[in-house]
Structure 1
Amino acid sequence: MVDSALSRPGQRERYDSKLAQIDWVFVGLLATLTGIGILLLYSVGGMKWEPWAFKQLVTFCACMAFMLLLALVDLRVWLMGAYWFYGASLLLLVAVEAVGDVRMGAQRWLSVGGFGFQPSEFMKLAIVLALARFYHECSAKDANWSWKLLIPAAMIGVPAVLVMHQPDLGTAVLISLTGLAVMILAGLNWKVIAAGAAAAAVAIPLAFEFVLHEYQRQRILTFLNPEEDPSGSGYHILQSKIAMGSGGLLGKGLGLGSQSQLNFLPEKHTDFIMAAVCEELGFAGGFMIFLLYGAIILMALRMASLSHSHFGRLAAAGATATFALYVLINGAMVMGLFPVVGVPMPLVSYGGSAMLMVMTGFGLVLGVKVHRYQELPRQASIFQRFE
């Protein structure tokens, strides 16, 4: 006899609160990682709560409450709102092109009532939800190889091009890689992956020459040889390497890092905060942070695998992939293994927009775990009429 969903572990006590189903160990890891980030922001801010540490603490508390609220949301709400969220995010990206604010030479921001935000941050999660819904309504055969794969390709390509035009190379790369990760998780044929890799190998030199802005090309050339211009374009990565190397095994101690405290290290509170971590906490501190990242990613992927719905598995795994790509790109960037593209280290770097989207994504992951036995029926897709 097959047990019903209500008789499975975690569902036998029908009066259990949804809060009891939340993975509190996972929540604790997020709080621990963010707490370390706040401690470093306190340190690089001159051992003061202002200008970064206190604001980051307040932002995290608000985002944590929002994340726990989202964990209680029924998966059907996420499913029904997926395309709407994607459409709204796409419209906001178009609005940036028309009326966006220009800051530091880039048109990436919208201002509403004195509050500024980057719509491209919303697209990182919107693309995951939209693709998860698309594949939820697709057959396994279509997900593997079909003309219908042009649809998710366009869903990824349009926002990536808009973000690239702002210009924001880092976010465009994140959107593209996240979308590709969801397509692969959905069962994309390996021959398509190989063909795409070959096409990318051909397109990258052409994009370098005809698509990228001059400063973006310079970043890539600097990545290949930062010593050529140590006081100019190579300054960021060279100072990052100096800071990381000078920390040794155990670091110089909080507030004692020369590169960060004397402001030799640029963007020490955002893009290059991991360099400050290694300078003040040493290799041991940096290794501990990456262990926390690894534990968070593995736990999130496990929660994704528990879902009985295709949408839940893909959405949670896609949100986790976005987080993992943040970590991978920023970590490689500060070590000089990837061009400087302006991608923050999630939950450690200062910034409200990135933290809100990361915590929203983890709210989805926790919600998938809470509602893991919910089976979402596959709805009729508009593309079925062409079958």
Structure 2
Amino acid sequence: MKNSDFRVDSVGGIATLTLMVALGQMAVGLFVPSLPSLVSYFDTDMGTVQLTLTVHFTAFALFQLLAGPLSDRFGRRPVILTGLAIYACGAIACALAESISALIGARILLAIGACSGHAVSRAVIRDRSEGADSARIMSYIGMAMALSPALTPTIGGQLQGHFGWQACFVLMACISGVLFLYSFFFLPETIRTRNADAMKFGGMLATYGRLMIDRRFFGYAALNGCIFGALFAYQTGSPYLLMVELGYSPQAYGLLILFNVAGFLSGNLITNRFGRRVGIYGMVRAGSILTFVAGIAMVVPTELGHVSALSIIGPSMLLLFAMGITLPSAMAGAMQHFPEVAGAASALLGFLQMGTGALGSFMISSLQNQHPHVMPDVFAVSGVLALVALAFIPKPGAGRD
């Protein structure tokens, strides 16, 4: 396939890029239903088991800062292919782990591989599209980012129930292997001009610094981060609340997550229907308000001593609805003004998303044993910070949308 023939808005282009993004979330969603079983399997405690998620989120966030500049320097294609190969190796290492420490280490390798496609896919879209078209394509990427952690626990619950925790990593290795072969033969290089200075340390710091002080970039990226902080806190803490405290099976847990899928799909449909008319700022404003409401709805019943599937799934469903509204526009808003450093901008956007997600997960894993209901508190704090992030974004009359 010639470079000029590749279209990011084609079925093949969208499918390839969304799968690359989904691999990172898949590494979490498929695995989450297995968390309680690992406590007895490795003879450890729940807090230690939850570290398998925390280190994954942390490594994923940090290595994106390297993946973006690498793609600006050497091209999108080699970074994507290398990342897919590392992901497959990491998944195999996880399946073969014989101790919780080995599993934690293998999760780091898995995260390094996953972050490459996650970061670079947005740069590929920026290479080939702009403005509203970019936001529309980003909506499909946003769908992968939200549907994957919402839908994959359903699959993971079935794998755990029938085959054990290793099965999810076997599936990850197979999917990444197929995606590697497809990308090797059909995904061309999309970067127009390679940046020879992209990997220079001083240049990297200057680029990231310029992005961070830009209100357009920081506001949108921080808002994404707040939503991901709540989402990853939910992913880390909900297995304990639903499966340990409330007694649901892994299969039932996976089925309950389908309500989150419905929430996100509803939000995504609204984005596709009204996104152009409302505009980027209008969409993220609505999403940030709904994120705040979801946080309050999660924490109030818990503080009143009422913990049930409804009090957990209902607010999380609203969060995913808000995510479907916010994520595509926020990603497009953060990326649209920086075509010359699209790889670095995508990497920093991903770092802030996953970094705040890692922070939310770390708070759950470190406090779970002492405070079993810490997850709703993190949910509420994320909702408040979403409104703070919105205040950084220039309104259409004060700056470009």
TM-score, structure 1 as length reference: 0.28
TM-score, structure 2 as length reference: 0.28
Greater RCO (CA < 8 Å, at least 6 residues apart): 2
Larger Rg belongs to? 1
Structure whose residues are more often helix by fraction: 2
